Amino acid sequence: MEYISTRGDGAVLDFEAVTLAGLAPDGGLYVPRNFPLFSGTEIAAMRGLSYVELAVRVMLPFVQPSLTEGELRDLATRAYGRFAHAAVTPLVQFDQQHWLLELFHGPTLAFKDVALQLLGRMFEHFLAKNDDHLTIVGATSGDTGSAAIDAVAGRERVDIFMLHPNGRVSDVQRRQMTTVRAPNVHNIAIDGSFDDAQAMVKRMFVDSAMTGRFRISAVNSINWARLMAQVVYYFAAALQLGAPDRKVAFSVPTGNFGDVFAGYVAAQMGLPIERLIVATNVNDILHRALSTGDYSTGTVTPTAAPSMDIQVSSNFERLLFLVGGCDGAALAQQMRGFEANKAMQLTNMQREGAAALFSSARADAGDMTRAMSWAYEKCGQVIDPHTAIGLHAARASGLDASIPVVTLATAHPAKFRDAVERATGQRVQLPTRMGDLFERQESYVELPGDYDAIAAYVAERATPSS
Ligand SMILES: *Cc1c(COP(=O)(O)O)cnc(C)c1O
The answer to whether residue 113 sits within a structural domain is no
**CA angle, residues 260, 180, 465, in degrees to nearest 5:** 80
Q: Is residue 268 part of a domain?
A: yes
Distances (CA, A) of 322 to 34, 231, 236, 268: 10, 17, 24, 11
pLDDT reported for residue 86: 96
Distance CA 360, CA 343 (A): 19
Segment 60-73 shows an average pLDDT of 98
Residue 441: is it exposed, middle or buried by C-beta count within 10 angstroms (0-12/13-18/19+)?
Answer: exposed
Domain membership flag for residue 50: no
Which among 75, 79, 55 is positioned nearest to 66, based on CA atoms?
A: 75
Predicted pLDDT of residue 222: 84
Query: Kind and range of the H or E element at 299?
Result: none
pLDDT, averaged across the chain:
94
What local confidence, expressed as pLDDT, does residue 317 receive?
95
Dist CA 216 CA 204 (whole Å): 8
* Band of residue 215 on the pLDDT scale cut at 50, 70, 90: very high
| pLDDT value of residue 169 | 83
Residue 134 covered by a domain: no
Ligand 1 pocket: which of 169, 194, 285, 308 to mutate (most atoms within 8 A of CB): 308
Does the annotation mark 112 as catalytic?
yes
* For the CA of 257, the nearest atom of ligand 1: 9
Is the distance from the beta carbon of residue 308 to the nearest atom of ligand 1 less than 6 Å? yes
Whether 143 shows a pLDDT value over 90: the answer reads no
From 140, 150, 261, 410, the mutation candidate for ligand 1 (largest count of ligand atoms within 8 A of CB) is 410
Q: Which residues are CB-contacts of 4 (< 8 A; sequence separation ≥ 6)? A: 10, 11, 12, 13, 30, 31, 33, 328
**What is each CA distance from 52 to 15, 23, 70, 79, 86, in whole angstroms?**
20, 28, 12, 9, 11
- β-pairing, 185-190 vs 445-447, is parallel
Q: Is 257 in the pocket of ligand 1 (CB under 6 A)?
A: yes
Task: Compute the 3-state secondary structure of the chain and give helix, strand, coil in percent, each to the nearest 5.
Answer: 45, 15, 40
pLDDT digits (tens, 9 = 90+) for 396-413: 999 999 999 999 999 999
In a domain, 102, yes or no: yes
Q: Check whether the bond before 244 is cis (ω within 30° of 0).
A: yes
- Assess whether the C-beta atom of 110 lies below 6 angstroms from ligand 1: yes
Where residue 300 falls among pLDDT bands split at 50, 70, 90? confident
pLDDT at 466: 83
Do residues 185 and 153 touch, judged by C-beta distance below 8 A? yes
pLDDT digits (tens, 9 = 90+) for 32-59: 999 999 999 999 999 999 999 999 999 9
Least confident segment among 221-225, 244-248, 442-446: 221-225
Helix runs in 212-276, H state only: 224-240, 258-268
Would you say residue 22 has pLDDT above 80? no
Structural domain includes residue 239: yes
Residue nearest to ligand 1 atom 14, measured at CA: 307
Q: Is residue 191 part of a domain?
A: no
Residue 140 lies in a domain: no
Helix (H) or strand (E) holding 296: strand 294-296
Q: How many CB atoms lie within 10 A of CB 95?
A: 11
Cα 409 to ligand 1 centre (Å):
10
In total, the chain counts a number of residues equal to 466
Name the pLDDT band for 217 (thresholds 50, 70, 90).
confident
Could you check whether the bond before residue 65 is cis, i.e. omega within 30 degrees of 0?
yes
Which amino acid residue places its CA nearest to atom 4 of ligand 1?
255
What's the confidence (pLDDT) of residue 332? 96
Give the side-chain half-sphere CA count within 13 A for 379: 18
Its pTM stands at 0.95
Q: What is the pLDDT of residue 432?
A: 87
Q: Find out whether 346 and 339 touch, Cβ atoms under 8 Å.
A: no
Indicate if ligand 1 lies below 6 Å from the C-beta of 383: no
- Which domain does 104 fall in, by range? 91-108+224-424
- CA separation (Å) from 415 to 268, 304, 418? 33, 11, 9
**DSSP H or E stretch at residue 250:** strand 248-253
Ligand 1 pocket residue status of 113, Cβ below 6 Å: no
Ligand 1 proximity of 124 Cβ (cutoff 6 Å) = no
Residue 296 pLDDT greater than 90, yes or no? yes
User: Which atom of ligand 1 lies at the shortest distance from residue 143's CA?
Assistant: 15
Count H helices, E strands: the chain?
19, 15
Q: Ligand 1 centre and the CA of 465: distance in Å? A: 31
Among the ranges given (104-113, 126-135, 150-159, 431-440), the one the predictor scored with the smallest mean pLDDT: 431-440
CATH code of the domain in which 300 resides: 3.40.50.1100
* Ligand 1 within 6 A of CB of 112: yes
Q: How many domains does the chain have?
A: 1
